[in-house]
Amino acid sequence: MFMSTKLIVGLGNPGPQYENTKHNLGFWVVNELLLRLRLSRLEPLCRSLIARTEWHDSEIIFAKPMTYMNNSGQAVNMLVQKFDIAPHDLCVVYDDLNLDIGVLRLRKAGSDGGHNGMKSIIHHLGTQDFPRLRVGIGKVEGDWMDHVLNAFSATEREYINWAIPCATDAIETFVTDGVQTAMNRFNGRVCPKHDS
């Protein structure tokens, strides 16, 4: 008998033209989790691509909404309803241009912070009381849309390549020990290069 069913959602945009953009960082973290757990098969369900597994006495559903970022809430709400996910068992992973590159910030609840994917999820769920993990993509200089829909530079990728495994560890800690422990352990974690 599982202790709980948890839904881990990574936000991004479907399609090869968006694959390497900053806005797809949530997808990248889910991909890293799937790689860690040797899950290679994704199935279409509830306007998402999902994988299901048993992990640390929980049933885990990993999901990448295929609705495009601005409509992420449609897919997430469908998954929450189908699998009867409690708000505290949902964790959404996404990029944040208000955080320095590679910085992690996990919260139990909160506003959308100007992120359109989160805005859609909060609207469709009717609550903002669910955990979320933000991964910094660097503060915007100029047009924010150009910023999030462009690829990382080679230097930026060094930070992100460090941050993604840390984000994966944070999600695992969320699963095993809960959101508060994960917050205590990972919030503010930065690539050592920030200090150089």
Choose, from 23, 115, 124, 147, the residue flagged as catalytic: 23
23 is known as an active-site residue:
yes
**Amino acid present at 34:** L
Rg over CA atoms, the chain: 15
Q: DSSP string of 113-179? A: TT-HHHHHHHHHHT---S-EEEEE-----S-HHHHHTSBPPHHHHHHHHHHHHHHHHHHHHHHHH-H
CA distances from 156 to 101, 125, 127, 161, 163 (A): 7, 33, 33, 9, 11
DSSP 8-state class, residue 18: G
Number of H helices, E strands in the chain: 6, 7
**Residue 153 tokens, joined:** 């530079």
**From CA 192, how far away is CA 166, in angstroms rounded?**
12
Task: Give catalytic residue positions.
Answer: 23
